[in-house]
Structure 1
Amino acid sequence: MGRYAMGVDFGTLSARALVVDVETGRELGGAVMEYPHGVLQERLPNGAPLPHGWALQHPGDYLECLRRVVPEALAQAGVNAAEVIGLGIDCTASTSLPVLADGTPLCFLPEYENNPYAYAMLWKHHGAQAQADRMTELAQARKEPFLARYGGRISSEWMLPKLLQVLEEAPEVYERAARFVEAGDWIVSQITHSEARSAGIAGYKALWNPRDGYPSREYLAALQPRFSTVAEEKLAGPLLPLGARVGGVHPEAAAWLGLRSGTSVATANIDAHVSVPVAGAPRAGELMMIMGTSTCHILLAQEERAVPGMCGAVEGGAAPGFLAYEAGQSCVGDLLGWFVEHCLGAECARQAKEEGQSAHEFLTARAAKLRAGESGLIALDWWNGNRSILVDAHLTGLILGMTLRTKPEEIYRALMEATAFGTRTIVEAFEQAGVPVRSVFACGGIAHKNPLMLQIYADVLGREIRVARTRQAGALGSAMFGAVAAGAARGGYDTIAQAASAMGGLLDAVYRPNPRDAAIYQKLYALYAALHDQFGRDAHSPMRALRNIQSESLG
């Protein structure tokens, strides 16, 4: 009889389940399903328009996907439910959801199905930027100690700004909600019928700390008097560390999942952070880049430092025994996807089809033939704002150097390079703050699909890059934590380091800097850094003026 763990990775666009051999890390079967409603950015399901910068999801999609992908993955793996010892869940964050006391999402109720504030606010929802700015300004004025752990700024992508937005713009939703929960925590509660909050998610996305808890009542009251009790009223519930056992699969859930009742279920994790162990046993100084629609950078360290523009430094946030710093770029795969969807000419699309390639494959092949610096282009990768190190969702993208002779593949490569320059900005911020980056790893879709992009990153960073063996980093990481939730006594592991050593690993390939290209990128990065500060830090930047004009025009 084998021993297997399952992981289910709830990403931005889809959910993916994976069955893994606990002893070897061998991936035996998987299934994926796209969310039926996708990302609600322009309209609600009823057709009602959404404001600019909004991004919502329908929580019913999570359950619909769960009901399909878990049984399909089990069937593909040929594994008996009795052999599955643990289940782990990861999800995007902060994806916040207002629910009733029994866990029912407000958008499930007829009276709230047309209210956008009743849906899950996805991680990339930027409608709370004004609230985030106020929170930052007040924390700076009050010299709140928590602010240094978050790089000196509060992001509109986090839980508390979103809740403050709901309170101020839709108080009826705020009052009706018994709690606001992270989507990952909610999914776990639907499986176990037990409620618990992930301490890791709360640490990164809700300004929670094991020593101090949530921000003080005084600070919250100064933002809005009604907000003073948000922690006790809307964020109540036990906080459990990563890998803890929330409970067993409830008999009702077991019936529709095809799992055995009582199977151990781990605390929810963030879809990026859960990937850290997939390269092997975690070590201080390791930077993992989780490269997908966006890129999240997780750096393990032993000591806490104030690093400007980081998204949080949380004890045990990725692996027990380490402080895990989070940084990120809000738009990487999405940036290349935007270019293909909106800017690719008919001729390129025709040629790609004739050659039997996707548009991305076609452009990448052509971009690979270009030398570094050949196109005369440079870009700022802020199509979805800047997460690190400027923490400003109002910033926008820029391409400099285009002429009538500029070709699509040149722009495509310049966008790749811009994301690499953004990562270098993050790495330099860490090292300038005294947090060493000793080795760089990558995982996620881009890491496996686009060798050119990894080579550009190696050249820009001037560092070797190794890639995790798995193509399903989130789901594998979740399966590892599921095995830890089961524990050694049930056939799993007692620590994530043990699970990672047995179940993780790296590809043989190593991306090493090309000296010639690295020298050219050194010059281009200097230009990027100048543009970064000119357009990103200057209060009178034309970017900010353009956004103000846009807001006025839209009324």
Structure 2
Amino acid sequence: MPVPTPQNVSAHKPGDAVAVGIDFGTLSGRAVVVRVSDGAELGTAVHPYRHGVITDRLPDSSVTLPAETALQDPEDHRQVLSRAVPAALRDAGVDPGQVIGVGTAFTASTCMPVTADGVPLCEVAPYTPRPHAWPKLWRHHAAQPEADAVNALAAERGEPWLPRYGGRISSEWQIAKALQVLKEDPEVYHRADRWIEAADWIVWQLCGTETRNVCTAGYKGQYQDGDWPSRDFFGALHPEFADFARDKLEHPLSQLGDRAGTLTAEAAARTGLPEGVPVAVGNVDAHVTAATAGTTEPGRMLAIMGTSTCHVMNSDVLAEVPGMCGQVLGGIVPGVWGYEAGQSGVGDIFAWFAEQHAPPEVHERARERGTSVHDVLAEETADDPVGAHGLVALDWHSGNRSVLVDHDLSGVLAGLTLATRPAEIYRALVEATAFGTRTIVEAFEKAGVPVHDLTVAGGMVDRPHVLRIYADVLGRPLRLVSSGLACAVGAAIHGAVAAGAHRDIHAASAAMGGVREHTVDPDPERTAAYDELHALYTELHDHFGRGGTRSLHRLRDIRNAARKGNP
């Protein structure tokens, strides 16, 4: 499979120390071999997951799945170790003995029930046909009722950790998902010795021992000020849930960049790396990318834009920012507050429209030109004045992560006429996601957390039409990460730190990270024009998302009821 061209490649000398970064995404995993001295990417490989996202029925089974379910197969993740890592080494042409460290990055909250020795319950024969025994992908939204219960109880009790998450806990995170398992399949819940983030589970596969990282514990498990939510709180959610943290979560937490352990003989055989190579503590894909982007210092926001977008930033300011995914001390780099926000749908929305709603002639033009449907759609409106399409959209096709934290919301498109062209709808959808990012940036600044600059990583880095709109909507220049595999490179940077090649993440980032020389700059006239459209976006955002109407929630309820029993 084609992979992004390695960046920063210069003469490589035999014996130069390298680190391997492994990034486990939503649909595939990728590995990169990075030179420790300067971050040169020497070899890469991508391995698509056989089962991808499991949404309709369990693999090789007739067991159907409820609406909003999103699962994964842990064997798909192991295959990344077996296939992508050796392939990246071959591509790099390096001796495995040159590898001094390994780092990983994973989607989150992707979590699973496992046995005491780390075996996923879906691989334990009696539980294989049980959906709740399988890992729940980050975009599993079927636990929204449980998230609602968590939020209501936490607000009622005035739980001190709740403001650290903007006042609402997401259905994407581990407490809601675990509570759903207990309520819907208590046998699976009680059989699970541990409930673990895949970011930590994959390190368990490499090192042979359980570790837990401060990042996923804080952002996805509500670990704050040295403790999990209280036993009383969990018990008030469900009597059998009282000991959830003590029995299934508690474990010493490790700081990011620390050494989790070393490769076992089994992991060495699987990856083609030497036994005993240091492995970094597990990490989340978005957070590890800050090292690649050079955004480890306070006030430098990083937007990892792909199927969804994560916005992460360090700050020396502790403030309550509405709708954040969390603020965690040491959540991105040790010693400072790491903030995370995000949008559940970005590239997914563009792909949905391009694949399902672009007319056949657009697809034909794309084939003739050897370009993408996205490029053809973007070209049609590239020179149109801002607002000429008369449209405003809400980017909630996968729910809203920030700042509303409500995954029962859905997309809205206002202003359609019989003269509206498909390309205009496409542009309105891109603009909607840019307005969503502006809403997040403004929430930070209104709360007193300054955003000095914005850097972009991920798949959208090479979509000029998207970047132009974002720069104009935000009124800010955009810095672009050099690497096409920024998450994997960030993992390699952490692997180098764990191996002791650099003194800390900041130093490793300065040596091994990188951004492109040129920025994408806003056009002042277009920015001014977008202010009016953003005001309309905000009006619709608040009406549909802040209680002006419950119509989107009612439509979701009607849809789910109609589909129940009719997969």
Q: What TM-score range do you get, normalising by the shorter chain?
A: over 0.9
Deviations 1:185-221 (A, max 9, x none): 1111111102101111111000012x33100111111
Moved more, 416-425 or 106-115: 106-115
The one-letter code matched in structure 1 to 2:508 is: A
Equivalent-residue separation in structure 2 for 1:79 and 1:364 (angstroms): 41
The residue correspondences of 1:138-537 to structure 2 (distance < 5 A) are 138-209=153-224, 211-280=225-294, 282-447=296-461, 449-487=462-500, 492-537=501-546
1:336–1:281 CA distance, 2 compared to 1 (3 A): closer
Equivalent-residue separation in structure 2 for 1:418 and 1:281 (angstroms): 25
Deviation at 1:548, TM superposition (A): 2.6
Moved more, 461-470 or 23-32: 461-470
1:549–1:539 CA distance, 2 compared to 1 (3 A): farther
Deviations 1:48-79 (A, max 9, x none): 22111111001110001210000000011011
Equivalent-residue separation in structure 1 for 2:454 and 2:75 (angstroms): 37
Gapped regions of structure 2 (runs ≥ 5): 1-14
Contact 1:195/1:238, CA 8 A, preserved across alignment: no
The one-letter code matched in structure 1 to 2:27 is: L
The residue correspondences of 1:42-191 to structure 2 (distance < 5 A) are 42-45=56-59, 46-191=61-206
Moved more, 506-515 or 55-64: 506-515
Deviation at 1:280, TM superposition (A): 2.1
Matched, 1:5 2:5: no
Deviations 1:210-257 (A, max 9, x none): x33100111111111111100111113221111111111101111121
SS at match of 1:56: coil
SS at match of 1:469: coil
The one-letter code matched in structure 2 to 1:372 is: V
Deviation at 1:539, TM superposition (A): 6.0
Contact 1:316/1:323, CA 8 A, preserved across alignment: yes
Contact 2:295/2:301, CA 8 A, preserved across alignment: no
SS at match of 2:516: strand
Specify the alignment match of 2:8 in structure 1: none
1:281–1:294 CA distance, 2 compared to 1 (3 A): closer
Equivalent-residue separation in structure 1 for 2:74 and 2:381 (angstroms): 39
Contact 1:281/1:498, CA 8 A, preserved across alignment: no
- Of residues 538, 550, 553 in structure 1, which corresponds to 2:547? 538
Equivalent-residue separation in structure 2 for 1:380 and 1:151 (angstroms): 21
Task: Compute the RMSD of aligned alpha carbons.
Answer: 1.1
Deviations 1:291-327 (A, max 9, x none): 0110000121002101110000011111123211100
Equivalent-residue separation in structure 2 for 1:264 and 1:552 (angstroms): 50
Contact 1:281/1:501, CA 8 A, preserved across alignment: no
Equivalent-residue separation in structure 1 for 2:357 and 2:387 (angstroms): 22
Equivalent-residue separation in structure 1 for 2:19 and 2:283 (angstroms): 16
Specify the alignment match of 2:6 in structure 1: none
SS at match of 2:313: strand
Contact 1:5/1:479, CA 8 A, preserved across alignment: yes
Deviation at 1:403, TM superposition (A): 1.7
Equivalent-residue separation in structure 2 for 1:358 and 1:386 (angstroms): 28
Equivalent-residue separation in structure 1 for 2:127 and 2:373 (angstroms): 40
Deviation at 1:281, TM superposition (A): 5.9
Specify the alignment match of 2:3 in structure 1: none
Equivalent-residue separation in structure 1 for 2:99 and 2:226 (angstroms): 38
Deviation at 1:107, TM superposition (A): 0.8
Give the paired residue count: 549
SS at match of 1:477: helix
The one-letter code matched in structure 2 to 1:457 is: Y
Following TM superposition, the consecutive aligned residue runs of length 4 or more in structure 1 with deviations greater than 6 angstroms are none
Kindly, what percent of the aligned residue pairs are identical?
Answer: 50
Contact 1:179/1:236, CA 8 A, preserved across alignment: no
Equivalent-residue separation in structure 2 for 1:306 and 1:437 (angstroms): 15
Equivalent-residue separation in structure 1 for 2:520 and 2:336 (angstroms): 27
Equivalent-residue separation in structure 1 for 2:200 and 2:379 (angstroms): 41
Equivalent-residue separation in structure 2 for 1:345 and 1:168 (angstroms): 45
The one-letter code matched in structure 2 to 1:338 is: W
SS at match of 2:113: strand
Equivalent-residue separation in structure 1 for 2:561 and 2:129 (angstroms): 26
Deviation at 1:387, TM superposition (A): 0.2
Contact 1:309/1:390, CA 8 A, preserved across alignment: yes
Contact 2:295/2:302, CA 8 A, preserved across alignment: no
SS at match of 1:310: coil
- Of residues 22, 26, 30 in structure 1, which corresponds to 2:40? 26
The one-letter code matched in structure 1 to 2:297 is: R
The one-letter code matched in structure 2 to 1:553 is: A
Equivalent-residue separation in structure 1 for 2:514 and 2:371 (angstroms): 30
The one-letter code matched in structure 2 to 1:533 is: D
Deviation at 1:265, TM superposition (A): 0.1
SS at match of 1:152: coil
Specify the alignment match of 2:4 in structure 1: none
Equivalent-residue separation in structure 2 for 1:297 and 1:552 (angstroms): 34
Equivalent-residue separation in structure 1 for 2:464 and 2:314 (angstroms): 25
1:273–1:281 CA distance, 2 compared to 1 (3 A): closer
Deviation at 1:367, TM superposition (A): 3.5
SS at match of 2:402: coil
Equivalent-residue separation in structure 2 for 1:281 and 1:149 (angstroms): 22
The one-letter code matched in structure 1 to 2:550 is: S
Gapped regions of structure 1 (runs ≥ 5): none
Matched, 1:554 2:563: yes
Deviations 1:143-193 (A, max 9, x none): 000001001001000001100000011101001111111111111111110
Contact 1:132/1:161, CA 8 A, preserved across alignment: yes
Contact 2:323/2:402, CA 8 A, preserved across alignment: yes
Equivalent-residue separation in structure 1 for 2:402 and 2:104 (angstroms): 26
Moved more, 523-532 or 314-323: 314-323
TM-score computed with the length of structure 1 as normaliser: 0.97
Equivalent-residue separation in structure 2 for 1:93 and 1:142 (angstroms): 27
The one-letter code matched in structure 2 to 1:113 is: T
